[in-house]
Every structure is written in C-alpha cells, then in structure tokens.
Structure 1
Amino acid sequence: MDALTDIIQLLRPQTVLLGRMAASGRWGIRVPPQPGPVFYFVTEGSCLFQGCEGTLLDLREGDFVLSARPTADAFLSEPTAETVLSDEAFKAIHSVDGEVRIGGPGDRPTTRIVGGLIVCDPANAELLVELLPRYIHLRASDDAATRLRSLVHIIREEAGEARPGRNAVLSRLIEVMLIETLRRETESSLPHRGVLGGLGDSKLAKALANMHADVARGWTVEELARHAGMSRAVFARRFSQAVGSAPVEYLLGWRMALAKDALRHGRGTLEEIAFKIGYKSASAFSTAFSHRVGCPPSEYAATMRARE
C-alpha cells in the first residue's frame, strides 16, 4: 500500500456539510473559523475567494477549493465588497429553502457555493493539516475537478438522508475526494513541502512506500537510499528538502501515528503495539512514545477514551 493511501485510511475522514450559499448583486460573506479542513465547490456563477493572508482567488462555476486552515475564509462578488460573518444567527435570518441567501433582496441568485467540513479521527487529525498546503484550487477545466463535481453531488445526497451504511459511504467518498485532490497536488511543478513533496519525486516515493510497507523494519538511511537508487548523502538531503524531515524522523513520526491510532481504538497490548511498529519491548516503545507525544501510552489511551 502506498503512503498516501495509508495516511488517508488512518485519518478515517468524514464530512459535515456546512451548507449551501446563494448570492446576488454586490456581496461578501465570511465563514466562521472551522476546526478542520473545508472544501468549497462553486455550483453556479463566479466569485472571489479570500483566505486569512488576503490573497484573492478568482473562482468560476465548477471550481473546487480545499482550505486546510479555514480561520478567516471569505467569498466576495468583487475585491472591495464588505463581508458579513455567516454565523448561526445570520443563517437563521437569511436561510431560504435550505440555503443561505445574501445580496440584493428579491434578486435571483447568480452564484451558488456548497461547503463541507472534513472531520478526521482525533488521534491523528493533525496529519491532514500537515499533509495539505494552505489551499488547493482546482479549475473546472481540470480532469480532477470534473470527477470531484460528481463526488460532491453524491456526498450532498448521502449526507442529506439517513440511509443504512451512510457513515461508511461518506467516509469512502471523502477518502476518494481527498486522494483525487492530493494526486493533483503531487503533480504540481511546485509541490507542497511534506509527504506530498516526497510523493512528487519518484525516487523518494519509492522510499516512502518501503517505509510504509514494512514499518517495523529497522530502516537505515543507507538502505533506503540504495532502494531509491541514490547515494546516501544525496538521498538524505533530497528527502529532507522535499518532506521537511530526515528519513528516520519521518519513520518515527509514522510509527507514533500508528501507535496513537491503536491506543485510541484499543487494538492490542503495549507489547503487541510495540512489536508491530518495530520496538523490541514495551518499555522501549513507552519511552519513545512519551518523548514524542508528551505522555505515556497508557495515559494517552485513557485521555482519548475519556473524550469519547
């Protein structure tokens, strides 16, 4: 299994639809800060998208935006339009037929946007934010955007009805949506620093695949470099530049992510978890986990159970 699939499956992503918005005339709307990444899809018309750093993106019908850190996302009809916060009070007043309406009273909406919050398993939710660049923007003309349009349509249908297996279906759909989006990013000429940067380099991708395929193995930089067909020095430098951490540090981080997931879901004793991720004893694993996470495995497991 490849690194991207491993990570997405570990995250167990679900979606909570934030809702639909319809706008007309001169308008601007701010999305309240969200606890996780948010996707937006322009289903009709055009608008401008503005993130917390102030950069404006020109969006057209069929465009898709994935916002990794949605603390101050906004949509505007034009650069100088004033914005209002779309909080619960605003939605209660301006909701019509299941969508938030903004702009000229009585005017026919010319722009429509649907948005959804991506919620991940809390054990490793930060992995998705680390995986993503601040924004990913796919134009309607991109092949990926065409597929995403179909996915968003099915997600909206599935989220709106309490059918058997709904959560499982939504989880798989969000996994596919994320993979489609991130595939596009790995092909970018300026890939995001992190796992995506490594996956965008065929030789580094091979090293990542090896680590994920056999996480318990005591990989050395020399071995990984040899499998990747590179010298040790070149491999170590290239990996650190692309991924943002040294190869062994990345492996340790992935081991701890697997351990946190197993502890949260009660899968195995400390000895079993330790052996599975490459430690010869529970004490060695506990020491490494405490150093990395900030608390012993038993305390972490108890804390996660208390939050459920």
Structure 2
Amino acid sequence: MDRLSSLLAIFQPEAKRVRSLALTGRTAITVSAQLNVLYLVDNITTGSAAVQIEQSVYPIHEQTLIWLPQGCSHDIITEQAITLTQIEISFGDIIENPLLQALPPAVSITPDKDESELHTFFQMMLKEAQAQRCGHNAVLNRLAEVLLIKALRHLMSSKQVETGLLGGLSDPKLAKAITAMHQNPAQAWTLGSLAQQAGMSRTSFSQGFKVVVGLTPMDYLTYWRMQIARQQLQNGRLSIDEIGSQLGYQSETAFRRAFRRTIGTPPGQFKRNKLFTAQV
C-alpha cells in the first residue's frame, strides 16, 4: 500500500453535495461550509474572479481547481459572468484527519496536460448528482476520492506544503517510515527500526522528522494509533480491549492511558458520546 492509499483507507471521502453555480457580473456571494469544498471553474469571461477567506484573496481562473480543505466560510467575488462546479466532501473532521491540519486555507491547482481529466471528473460528478440514478452515491464517492488523490499528488509533487504530515509524505525518506507506521500500527516500532525504514541514522531521522512533521516519530506513532482508535470506537463494533490489542498495546490499561493522554477523554466516555450522537 502506498503513502496516500494508507491514509485513504482510514479517511474515506464522501461526496455530500454537487451542484453548478452560475454567477452574473459583479456578484459576491457568501458560502458557509463545514466540509471540504472543491470548485472547478468551468467558464469565465474576461475579467477577474476570486475566492476570499477573511482578508486573504485567492484569484481563480478558467479550468482551475480550488480546494478549501478547512471547511470555512468564504466569499466568491466576480466582475464578470462565471460558471463553477461546487463539490462538498466529507473527509474526516479536521481534528481527526492529520492531512487536513497541515493544509493551507485554500489550494489552487491549474491542471497541466497530465491533469486535464479533472474537468471530466467534475462533469461526471455533476451529471451523477443531477440524474440520481441507481448507485449514484457510490459513484460520487469514488470520483471524490480520485479528485482528492489528484489534488494531494499535485501538492506533494509541487512541494506547496513542506511541513506537517503532507510535508513528511513529500519527503522520500520520511515517507517510508510514515507509511510503515500507517500500514502496521500494531508493530513494536522503535526509533531505530523506523530510522532503518527511512534509510537514515537515528539522529538524522529523529531530528528531520520532528522538524518536518512537528512531532517526534514515537509521538506521531501514538497520534496515528489514536486516530484509528477514534474511528473504531465510533464504529462501535470492537471492545476497548480489542482495539487496544489491535493497535499494539499489551494491556487495556496501557491503551486507556495513552488514549486519554492523547485525546483528552477516556475511551469509554468517547465511545458513549459518539454512539449517542449517532443515535440522535
């Protein structure tokens, strides 16, 4: 499993809404969004258009993909007629998803010749949403996953994000250690064994990991295990002891202690709260 697939296996995107927006000249609309939002500018006449988040302005151009990963309210401002396809995607809560934490408020991607099919994917999603045919939700979710993969690939190859988890995944050596933790969270990893995965000395690996990712390798391993634990507790299918065992903890007490230290609440209380919220 590669470095992105290991993440998407945990944080599976779900398309919540797909629609077309046609704005006339000299228009400003405010969009209140709690989820990831992606825009593809289908058509724009001469003039300027932009997405504004608080005091920051992000120009948009025809055939440009705009990704707002933080789920924030924003304004779309245009001087001329413009048509956009808007997609809202659930990709995990920002607190739960380490990828979202590292991303800027807005990401602009202008497809090159290898990414020209982005427009096709947006149009396919728009048609599926409008037609409401059998299985359309499954199709929308798979296409949403493709769009996110392409956006993340672009960010890694262009090195627009140099810190956080995405920065670590963009580093060929650090990515090997991160992917190893993602794929085998229950393994009894040590600083030495992770450094060996990265092909680095213990000192260079430890220092480089902390500078880029923002956590020590062992702290990140605990963090990743707890993100998996959060999802499994929310699913409610496994006991607390079973979850701890699957994540490499030798006792339920050790797992409970690590969970409370990292998340801030005991796993039993977290599970009860999530199940109650789901029922409501």
Q: TM-score, structure 1 length as denominator?
A: 0.82
Note the 1:274-289 alignment, pairs <5 A.
Answer: 274-289=244-259
Give the letter for the 2:40 counterpart: F
Matching of residue 16 in structure 1 with residue 16 in structure 2: yes
Matching of residue 133 in structure 1 with residue 104 in structure 2: yes
* Structure-2 residue corresponding to 1:35: 34
Please state whether the residue corresponding to 1:280 is helix, strand or coil: coil
State the shift of 1:15 in Å: 1.8
Note the 1:132-281 alignment, pairs <5 A.
Answer: 132-141=103-112, 143-144=114-115, 146-281=116-251
Separation in structure 2 between the aligned mates of residue 67 and residue 158 of structure 1, nearest angstrom: 22
Separation in structure 2 between the aligned mates of residue 256 and residue 238 of structure 1, nearest angstrom: 23
After superposition, what is the alpha-carbon deviation per residue over 1:210-267, rounded to whole angstroms, capped at 9, x for unaligned? 1122111121122211221211111111111221211111111110111111111123
Does the CA contact (< 8 Å) of 1:289 and 1:297 recur in 2? yes
Does the CA contact (< 8 Å) of 1:36 and 1:68 recur in 2? yes
* Structure-2 residue corresponding to 1:75: 76
Give the letter for the 1:38 counterpart: V
Does the CA contact (< 8 Å) of 1:124 and 1:260 recur in 2? no
Query: CA 1:127/1:195 → structure 2, altered by over 3 Å: closer, same or farther?
Result: closer
1:293 paired residue among 260, 263, 268 = 263
* Structure-2 residue corresponding to 1:81: none
Stretches of structure 1 that go unaligned for 5 or more consecutive residues are 79-102, 104-109
State the shift of 1:73 in Å: 1.9
Q: TM-score, structure 2 length as denominator?
A: 0.89
Separation in structure 2 between the aligned mates of residue 151 and residue 194 of structure 1, nearest angstrom: 28
Query: CA 1:190/1:61 → structure 2, altered by over 3 Å: closer, same or farther?
Result: closer
Query: CA 1:161/1:298 → structure 2, altered by over 3 Å: closer, same or farther?
Result: farther
Query: CA 1:118/1:187 → structure 2, altered by over 3 Å: closer, same or farther?
Result: same
Identify which range, 281-290 or 46-55, moves more after superposition: 46-55
Query: CA 1:189/1:235 → structure 2, altered by over 3 Å: closer, same or farther?
Result: same
Separation in structure 2 between the aligned mates of residue 127 and residue 166 of structure 1, nearest angstrom: 29
Does the CA contact (< 8 Å) of 1:289 and 1:296 recur in 2? yes
Give the letter for the 1:54 counterpart: Q
Give the letter for the 2:2 counterpart: D
State the shift of 1:123 in Å: 10
2:82 paired residue among 94, 105, 111 = 111
Separation in structure 1 between the aligned mates of residue 77 and residue 180 of structure 2, nearest angstrom: 46
Please state whether the residue corresponding to 1:168 is helix, strand or coil: helix
State the shift of 1:61 in Å: 1.5
Displacement over 6 Å in runs of 4+: none
Query: CA 1:231/1:125 → structure 2, altered by over 3 Å: closer, same or farther?
Result: closer
State the shift of 1:142 in Å: 5.6
Does the CA contact (< 8 Å) of 2:51 and 2:60 recur in 1? no
Separation in structure 2 between the aligned mates of residue 198 and residue 256 of structure 1, nearest angstrom: 19
State the shift of 1:277 in Å: 0.7
State the shift of 1:18 in Å: 5.8
**Greater C-alpha radius of gyration:** 1
Give the letter for the 1:298 counterpart: G
How many pairs does the alignment contain?
276
State the shift of 1:149 in Å: 1.4
CA RMSD between the two structures: 2.2
Does the CA contact (< 8 Å) of 1:185 and 1:192 recur in 2? no
Separation in structure 1 between the aligned mates of residue 244 and residue 90 of structure 2, nearest angstrom: 28
* Structure-2 residue corresponding to 1:26: 26
State the shift of 1:159 in Å: 2.1
After superposition, what is the alpha-carbon deviation per residue over 1:95-143, rounded to whole angstroms, capped at 9, x for unaligned? xxxxxxxx8xxxxxx3101212212355965445214332211114363
